[in-house]
Structure 1
């Protein structure tokens, strides 16, 4: 049997019990990576890991709350104890507008009607979470002189759209964080890139009450749109690529622009 593309790669994907995270973790696993499937603890996480292991994939359950530095440190200790290192980190865990306005797609709510608690909770998860997780795992990568970090983002339109506080600001902040991380790590052998679907995607961030309506939308994307680019970013082909913002629906165009199409 020939060796798979990502054999020997230890990867951690946050928010991986469903949606984009699950799709990316599945793609990495299929290419031979060993993947820690991470989210808050519970039946949803355990069931996701079982589904993957039942397919013969090397998935591991790693409960972690990205809002808690203590929870993240415990996860980092698990990685050190069980793997010794991590090669690939995907910051994906996040919550959406539905947490502050269930009808956000059809009845946008002005920023001044968002509760302080709702604002803080979303920022703590979507932005501070990326910082805390990266802060815990980047030193491992720096020490070994190599590693890849991918931060998941969304369209720039989302950052300007009516009624999209605090989700828009959280993703805008995550993009600025990503660029600065890339610069801070540029001489260490550790790369940082961004990846986004490139359109509305059928995930748990969309309101359940309108699930059928979204499924019938002609341009709605499947989470699997992230599979090819995430595998590429974990592969030897992406060696040295850093500070890039890759849109999944435009991945072939991006490859051609970088001489790889």
Structure 2
């Protein structure tokens, strides 16, 4: 066999060995959508989970149109039974889950004394309890395989504090702490757990917040970022793909800020 043929065969085996089953929550829009596309482009089988089932199905169809392997599940991450059902469907369709990215999130703005218990519970339920339900549903697969990657999407608000959104900040701070604890608990099982706290990312959610007057306009935000511009969902996705790769196996419990230098 020629050297060229041997190399091509080895590359093919490497790609096959690196193809994993990836679950992305909040995968139908914003950063989650970009993450799904990046995983698909890397050859992974992608399960797009989102509370908007129609949008999730549309994303899965778009990914399949590019030759990727993808499926969609409509699921509210605050519903523990629904999460377990969705993960069960992914197992039946694709096999054991090896990668989880928790991108589903909820944001709310209010002065601290105006935050209602209902608003507090809703934000914490999505941003923290949703991560708990999803991670607990997939960790047994990863333990059994002796390999796993979990990336939580937290927020720079948890690193520097954000007035007017204490409930959001608290929920994301808890995700940071949860990530570190999970990383220590499952490191010996071959599972890495890291978090990405984005800042200054142009997403539909951030544009909605800008339209409502809760965030500055993009040009104002860009002036406060050392690199001089907003980030994109693709920036977050690239970091996710790396953290979920074989090459990142010695990285766990870490906070990888994708923020243009706005938090150092």
TM-score scaled to structure 1, two decimals?
Answer: 0.84
Residue 249 (structure 2) aligned to one of 226, 236, 239: 239
Q: Distance in 1 between matches of 2:196 and 2:17?
A: 19
Aligned residue number for residue 104 of structure 1: none
* Deviation, structure 1 residue 247: 1.4
Instruction: Show the counterpart of 1:13.
Output: 24
Which structure 1 segments of 5+ residues have no match? Answer: 102-108, 255-261
Contact 1:147 1:191 in 2 (8 A): yes
1:230/1:6 CA distance change after superposition, 3 Å: farther
User: For the Cα contact (< 8 Å) 1:39–1:63, is it kept in 2?
Assistant: yes
In structure 2, what is the equivalent of residue 222 of structure 1? 232
1:186 and 2:187 correspond: yes
Q: Are the aligned partners of 2:158 and 2:172 in contact in 1 as well (CA < 8 Å)? A: no
Corresponding residue number in structure 2 for 1:85: 96
> Unmatched 5+ residue regions in structure 2?
1-7, 223-228
Question: Which residue of structure 2 aligns with residue 135 of structure 1?
Answer: 136
Structure 2 length normalisation: TM-score? 0.83
Runs of 4+ that moved beyond 6 A: none
Per the TM alignment, residue 56 of structure 1 is displaced from its structure 2 partner at its CA by 2.3
C-alpha contact 2:231 2:260 (8 A) present in aligned 1: no
**Gap change, CA 1:52 and 1:149, over 3 Å in 2:** same
Q: CA RMSD in A?
A: 2.4
- How big is each residue's C-alpha offset from its partner over 1:207-247, in whole Å with a ceiling of 9 and x where there is no partner? 53735973444332211111321111121101232111111
Contact persistence 1:5–1:31 (CA under 8 A): no
CA distance in 2, matches of 1:93, 1:181: 19
Q: 1:211 to 1:202 in 2, by over 3 A?
A: farther
SS at match of 2:196: strand
Higher helix residue share: 2
Would the aligned equivalents of 1:195 and 1:246 in 2 still touch at CA under 8 Å?
yes
Other-structure match for 2:115: 114
The reply to whether residue 153 of structure 1 matches residue 154 of structure 2 is yes
Corresponding residue to 1:50 among 48, 53, 61 = 61
Distance 1:166 1:207 in 2: 20
